[in-house]
Structure 1
Amino acid sequence: MRHLAGFVLAIVLAVAIFFGATWGYLRLLRVPVVNGAAATLPAVGGSLLHQRNVLLAFAALAGVGLLAGICVAVPRISPLAAGLPGLGLLAWTVIYLVNVGRAVRYIPLKADAFGDGFEAMLINGVLAAAGLAMIVPLFIPSRWRRTALPVYLEPGEDLTAQPGTGSSVLLTSDWGNQTAPIQQQPGDQPPDPWS
């Protein structure tokens, strides 16, 4: 179930990258400059905080970056959430390296700002860098297993009975094939989950 949710998150992240990040990136590339000179600083070297277009573009990029960062960093989220879109971005980059025309031709919505932004991110290597960062969870073995939550007991609770019979809990291993009750004596402290 966790990996199914990760697959759904992967679709959400891929859509966010294609529509949000590409739109924001393209708007940042087209920040107005004085006299159209590429070397001139935007806002004549002043603050960009009063330019609505720049703030919206930063917000779009920051939102997508935050979503991707959460999918990469949170251990309870399946590694598929960030890994699948990352693999897609790397695959598109490899196609671009092998055959530029084919990679650009396959970009969807090429006539819109989203397609132009995706092409700009592809050409500038941003998609390759993002893809490399997003596939990291795929190579961490602990991300593929479900982590057991620590169980805290009140003093005097008995763990030898079956679940649902009142004051006892039966713990099983992550693998589900072994059942081992944990004995606790009255006055014992709960186990430290960090040790």
Structure 2
Amino acid sequence: MLKSARELECSTTKLENDTSRRSSELLAAVCYHHYHGEEESKAFAILEQRGTAFEDDEQDLISLLLRTLLKKQQSVCTVKGTVNALAGMKYEKLFGILPNLLPHDVNVFFLTDTPNALAKLGDRRAIPLLTDTIDRSVQEKDDHNDEKVKSYLRNGTKKKDIGKVCLAVATSEQQYFTELEKILTDGNTLDYVTIEYL
């Protein structure tokens, strides 16, 4: 594993100039270890460029490496880079994978950048897929108001750590929001995520 940003930069530059199969495998390893930042993005970009420039066996190798990254991914960064690289290569089977990833992009955390990959892929089937996902998301938001959800939230009050949050959300009563705000401002919980909702 590379230990410094300088080592990583030197390695990706050297690998970029070497178009052998081994260098493509090593670039995929850089992507797999998700170093984050410019060099990781560069490694994905090099693989994408090779995937579009190479032909036959070499192109198959690049798509295999990227598909393996997607299958073995350990971070959202890996998913983002991989689907964008495969989309740039116009990998024909990618459309079968992207619908499973798209719901993640409705959530504000851990976005997989799937809509951009769909745009890059340029497949007309993306339009109904995107509209269905948006419609489902709106429906799910509406479902948060029903009694069943409120019941789950009230039952959550039996758990010490989340009780105040559940009471505040389930009842919308000021006393619970006041207690919740006190807990959050004490810094003993995930205040950086929750405080904005108060």
Q: TM-score, normalised by structure 1?
A: 0.27
Higher helix fraction: Structure 1 or Structure 2? 2
Question: TM-score under structure 2 normalisation?
Answer: 0.27
Q: Which has the higher contact order (CA 8 A, sep 6+)?
A: 1
Larger Rg: 1
